[in-house]
Amino acid sequence: MVRWGVLAGCAAVVVGAAFVTGATAPPRPPLPVAARADGGRPPVVLGHKTGYFNMAKVMREYERARTAVVRLETRRGRLAANLVGLRAMHADLKARHAAATNPNTKFDLESDLRSLTRLVEDLDRTIAKMLNERASIIIVELYDEIRAVTAAVAREHNLTALLAYPDAVTPQEAESPLVKELKLKPPALQPFYVDPGAEFSEEIVRRLNEKFATGTAH
């Protein structure tokens, strides 16, 4: 089994400070044109709140996401059972072809081997296509559900933005060299510190699981 904007350093400090203190700065009058030394750009607006949530944690602890992965894996195993049998037949036929000495027998086995090879390849492509189509449907559904919950959380907490970031979920993962390497090469937004008051992963997981438990998640 799915990209976030990078925060400018100065803007991150201003926004983070306003959120941690919980204060909403009073509106400031615009600076006079003559007093602007930044080429006429508007002044920075203070007091906006930004929240964050760990997408890896949400995807791991959201029950619907976990059950969807298990069901997809079960379906893959069921579909692959026939493929495993055909591949065993293919290996046996290939060995018989290599051991055959009679030209007519060898020709017949070679023809059967080509037909079985095409059958295995066709079935492999069909299974992959079915699984990919199902995975795409699940991804769209999970995205829509997470988007709806995060929008509700953002509105209730008066956030101007609720940003997702990928990070370790457990203390053991946080010490993993692989995770640390990935954090040094972030795809986009990668907070190195998130104030607990600005972190909403737990609330998002709780709400998603409540909706899933009551059958209201689609």
Q: 50 in a domain, yes or no?
A: yes
Q: 33 in a domain, yes or no?
A: yes
| Among the listed residues 130, 160, 1, 142, the one whose alpha carbon sits nearest the alpha carbon of residue 62 | 142
User: Looking at the structure, do residues 40 and 57 belong to the same domain, yes or no?
Assistant: yes
Please check the confidence at residue 36 and state whether its pLDDT lies above 60: no
| Span 76-111, pLDDT tens digits | 998 888 888 889 999 999 998 899 889 899 899 999
Q: 147 in a domain, yes or no?
A: no
Q: 30 in a domain, yes or no?
A: yes
Contact, 208 vs 148, CB < 8 A? no
Structural domain span for residue 122: 72-135
Q: 152 in a domain, yes or no?
A: no
| Span 124-181, pLDDT tens digits | 999 999 999 999 999 999 999 999 999 999 989 888 888 888 889 999 999 999 989 9
Higher pLDDT, residue 103 or 196: 103
Q: 148 in a domain, yes or no?
A: no
User: Looking at the structure, do residues 205 and 181 belong to the same domain, yes or no?
Assistant: yes
User: Looking at the structure, do residues 88 and 115 belong to the same domain, yes or no?
Assistant: yes
User: Looking at the structure, do residues 62 and 79 belong to the same domain, yes or no?
Assistant: no
Please check the confidence at residue 207 and state whether its pLDDT lies above 90: yes
Cα gap 13→191, rounded to integer Å: 12
Q: 149 in a domain, yes or no?
A: no
User: Looking at the structure, do residues 47 and 78 belong to the same domain, yes or no?
Assistant: no
Q: 184 in a domain, yes or no?
A: yes
Global pTM value: 0.63
Cα gap 152→5, rounded to integer Å: 21
User: Looking at the structure, do residues 19 and 58 belong to the same domain, yes or no?
Assistant: yes
Q: How many domains are there within the chain?
A: 2
User: Looking at the structure, do residues 78 and 60 belong to the same domain, yes or no?
Assistant: no
Residue whose token pair is 């036929």: 93
Q: Which residue blocks in the chain are alpha helix, DSSP H?
A: 9-21, 55-61, 63-99, 103-156, 171-174, 177-184, 201-214
Instruction: Tell me the backbone φ, ψ of residue 163, rounded to 5 degrees.
Output: -100, 140
Cα gap 162→98, rounded to integer Å: 63
